[in-house]
Amino acid sequence: MTSEHKNSGASKEPKNMPNTRGTKNDSRTPSSPTRTLSSPTHTPSSPTHTPSSPTHTPSSPTHTPSSPTPTTLNITQLHVAYGKHEVVHGVSLENLRGVVGLLGPNASGKSTTIKAIAGVHKARGGLVNALVDGVELSGKALQRRLGYVPQDLPTSASLTAFETVLISARRSNVQADPARATAEVFTELNIEDIAQRYLGELSGGQRQLVAAAQMLVTQPAVMLLDEPTSALDLHHQLFLLEIVRQRVAKTGAVTLIAIHDINMAARYCDNLVILREGKVHSQGTPNDVVTVSMVSEVYNVDVEIVKHHGVPLINPLRWEQLPAHKCDELGTPAESFVQAKE
Report the distance separating Cα 44 and Cα 220, nearest Å. 19
Residues 209 and 332 in one domain: no
Kindly give, in sequence order, each residue whose CB lies less than 8 Å from that of residue 162, ignoring residues fewer than 6 positions away: 11, 13, 17, 182, 183, 186, 195, 196
CB hemisphere CA count around 243 (13 angstroms): 28
φ, ψ of residue 223 in degrees (nearest 5) = -110, 125
Q: 220 with 132: CB under 8 angstroms?
A: no
Question: Which residues form the domain of 121?
Answer: 1-290
Q: 44 with 212: CB under 8 angstroms?
A: no
Per-residue confidence (pLDDT) for residue 323, from 0 to 100: 67
H-run or E-run covering 210: helix 204-216
CA torsion sign, 56 to 60 to 66 to 72?
Answer: positive
Residues 307 and 163 in one domain: no
Three-state SS annotation for 35-60: CCCCCCCCCCCCCCCCCCCCCCCCCC
Q: 261 with 316: CB under 8 angstroms?
A: no
Residues 131 and 221 in one domain: yes
Q: 192 with 227: CB under 8 angstroms?
A: no
Using one digit for the tens of pLDDT, what is the confidence trace for 222-276? Answer: 999 999 999 999 999 999 999 999 999 999 999 999 999 999 999 999 999 999 9
Per-residue confidence (pLDDT) for residue 340, from 0 to 100: 54
pTM of the model: 0.76
Per-residue confidence (pLDDT) for residue 330, from 0 to 100: 57
Per-residue confidence (pLDDT) for residue 37, from 0 to 100: 34
Considering the chain, what percentage of its residues have pLDDT values greater than 90?
A: 69
Confidence tier at 152 by pLDDT (50, 70, 90): confident
Residues 84 and 176 in one domain: yes
As a whole number, mean pLDDT of residues 156-177 equals: 90
As a whole number, mean pLDDT of residues 64-72 equals: 79
Per-residue confidence (pLDDT) for residue 190, from 0 to 100: 97
Using one digit for the tens of pLDDT, what is the confidence trace for 105-124? Answer: 999 999 999 999 999 999 99
Residues 316 and 258 in one domain: no
Residues 284 and 298 in one domain: no
Residues 19 and 77 in one domain: yes
Closest by CA position to 260, among listed 229, 297, 224: 229
Confidence tier at 29 by pLDDT (50, 70, 90): very low
Per-residue confidence (pLDDT) for residue 155, from 0 to 100: 78
Higher pLDDT, 1 or 236: 236
Residues 227 and 317 in one domain: no
Using one digit for the tens of pLDDT, what is the confidence trace for 307-326? Answer: 999 999 999 998 766 666 56
Report the amino acid identity of residue 328: D
Residues 9 and 99 in one domain: yes
pLDDT of 58 over the 70 cut: no
Report the distance separating Cα 113 and Cα 10, nearest Å. 36
pLDDT of 84 over the 60 cut: yes
Number of domains making up the chain: 2
CA 139 vs CA 21, 70, 259, 261: distances in Å: 39, 20, 26, 31
Per-residue confidence (pLDDT) for residue 48, from 0 to 100: 40
Per-residue confidence (pLDDT) for residue 54, from 0 to 100: 41
Residues 217 and 307 in one domain: no
pLDDT of 148 over the 70 cut: yes
Residues 205 and 340 in one domain: no
As a whole number, mean pLDDT of residues 175-181 equals: 92
Confidence tier at 175 by pLDDT (50, 70, 90): confident
Residues 3 and 147 in one domain: yes
Considering the chain, what percentage of its residues have pLDDT values greater than 70?
A: 74
Buried b (16+ CB within 10 A) or exposed e, 85-114: ebbbbebebeebbbbbbbbbbeebbbbbbb
Distance of CA 308 to the CA centre of its chain: 23
The per-residue DSSP string of 280-314 comes to EEEEE-HHHH--HHHHHHHH---EEEEEETTEEEE
Q: What is the CATH number of the domain that holds 110?
A: 3.40.50.300
The per-residue DSSP string of 176-192 comes to SSHHHHHHHHHHHTT-G
φ, ψ of residue 43 in degrees (nearest 5) = -105, 110
Per-residue confidence (pLDDT) for residue 174, from 0 to 100: 81
CA 42 vs CA 301, 308, 314, 333: distances in Å: 36, 22, 27, 45
Segment among 69-73, 92-96, 173-177, 262-266 with least mean pLDDT = 173-177
- DSSP at 332: S
Q: 127 with 103: CB under 8 angstroms?
A: no
Per-residue confidence (pLDDT) for residue 325, from 0 to 100: 58
